[in-house]
Structure 1
């Protein structure tokens, strides 16, 4: 596999090495503050050991669910989604409401003074009908007045972000730009944007620099790559079987893609791919 100097931040390994870095959480804390657009620095976070890893349905890349709590007791759920998922908001509601129920039960069903819950999704594809690349949604009335800010859904749609370096000033834009471009960045730091010298981003970039990886980190990266490749092949075989059976029942490729919430181009690719069994 051809590999540039930097591992994509949006990959399984890249996301865990940066957002899920347990030895140094500066990047995570700064990124969370930027994503929720808070002027108050997040001083401390505790990662939730119940976070899990999985592959996206079309297996082009992975998702790594991360959950953590800050020093004020606020809860954060972060998920990366690179596959096309038009109904992803429903999944976000499932995660947020599950966390809400857990918080309420721990408080013996006391609804007063509940901590905030931020459910954050970073999507490679666009799914909302708006042009915004960052959306924060709360419970509001028909005039847009806030009813409840205890729970917030935050979506970042990477495909909609097209700001040039000269127009980037906020930490949010610096984060999104880094997520979109780092894996294609030149090895020479002289050609990097100046904000990549900021400590929080520099630490993340160092974690993704293949030239600075320890033997153990190289092993873990190879392990992730091998596991994902095996899972990808298994999932592709499973989906090809579904497509073949659906075609035999008279469904079109367009109908199959819609029913199973898959990208149509990916369904066509699977349908025409040679059998490797």
Structure 2
């Protein structure tokens, strides 16, 4: 059975977003509750802000459709599956609502659910909840080649359905070709994203050093002292000095 690795799916989602949408997947259940799913492979320093934008965009659309009748609003679940970590706490799964300073629930109409895959380290025997079984499956399904390696919980009907959806053998030749093209295209996209992140960090570091030099010079320090304080070259300080004087 040929399975598609979850990280490959994350990469595809990252590089092949629909031109008419702002997130990876949107759906509703039988009670008209809305689910927004976003998958993120690379670094995401402002991911929380992006998730709020998605949820509030959907919230505003719901309000307008209901002619501003807040009593008719159904729930919105904003689900994020992230390859990397974005939160400082150790839990791989989090669910957030509007709460007060004591942690008491104020409103659960908007729920933000986050899964950070790098934090999930449970082994098969440790997986007890449906969520743990699902994340374990998502992280390991592409590594299993023999049926004897299947965890016992893969016999559960709901997981059978999910696993069957990942079977690439059922793809047509065109679908398989499209998958390979997307993965190849995304490899370069990920490298490009890495370069952009590196350049952004270098620019930020340069801006900090420039600000340090400006402050040092304004305090009357010499060019040499300013260079030592900012850990830059004398030529860098002279360049900043020329910009300040307009020479």
TM-score higher than 0.5: yes
Whichever of the two has the greater Rg, that structure is: 2
Q: State the shift of 1:239 in Å.
A: 7.3
CA-based RMSD: 3.2
1:89 — aligned with what? 48
The 10-residue stretch of structure 1 (231-240 or 176-185) with the greater mean CA deviation from structure 2: 231-240
For the 8 Å contact 1:5–1:209, the answer to whether it is kept is yes
Conservation of the 8 A alpha-carbon contact between 2:23 and 2:54: no
Matched residue, 1:34: none
Partner of 1:32: none
Q: 1:206 to 1:14 in 2, by over 3 A?
A: farther
Name the SS for the 1:112 alignment partner. helix
Q: Using a 3 Å threshold, how does the CA distance of structure 1 residues 253 and 189 change in structure 2: closer, same or farther?
A: farther
- 2:232 equivalent in structure 1: none
Partner of 1:224: 179
Cα distance 1:64–1:8, how it changes in 2: closer, same or farther (>3 A)?
farther
Given candidates 161, 166, 176, the residue that maps to 2:125 is 166
Question: What are structure 1's unaligned runs of at least 5 residues?
Answer: 16-52, 58-62, 257-277
CA distance in 2, matches of 1:161, 1:235: 22
**Is 1:195–2:153 an aligned residue pair?**
yes
Contact 2:63 2:69 in 1 (8 A): yes
Deviation at 1:134, TM superposition (A): 0.8
Structure number with the higher helix fraction is 2
**Pairwise CA distance, 1:7:** 1.2
Q: Is the aligned partner of 1:130 residue 2:89?
A: yes
2:165 paired residue number: 207
Off by >6 Å, runs of 4+ in structure 1: none
CA distance in 2, matches of 1:207, 1:99: 28
Q: Give the secondary structure class of the aligned counterpart of 1:85.
A: coil
Aligned length, in residue pairs: 202
Question: Aligned with 1:90: secondary structure?
Answer: helix
- Alpha-carbon shift at residue 76 of structure 1 (Å): 0.4
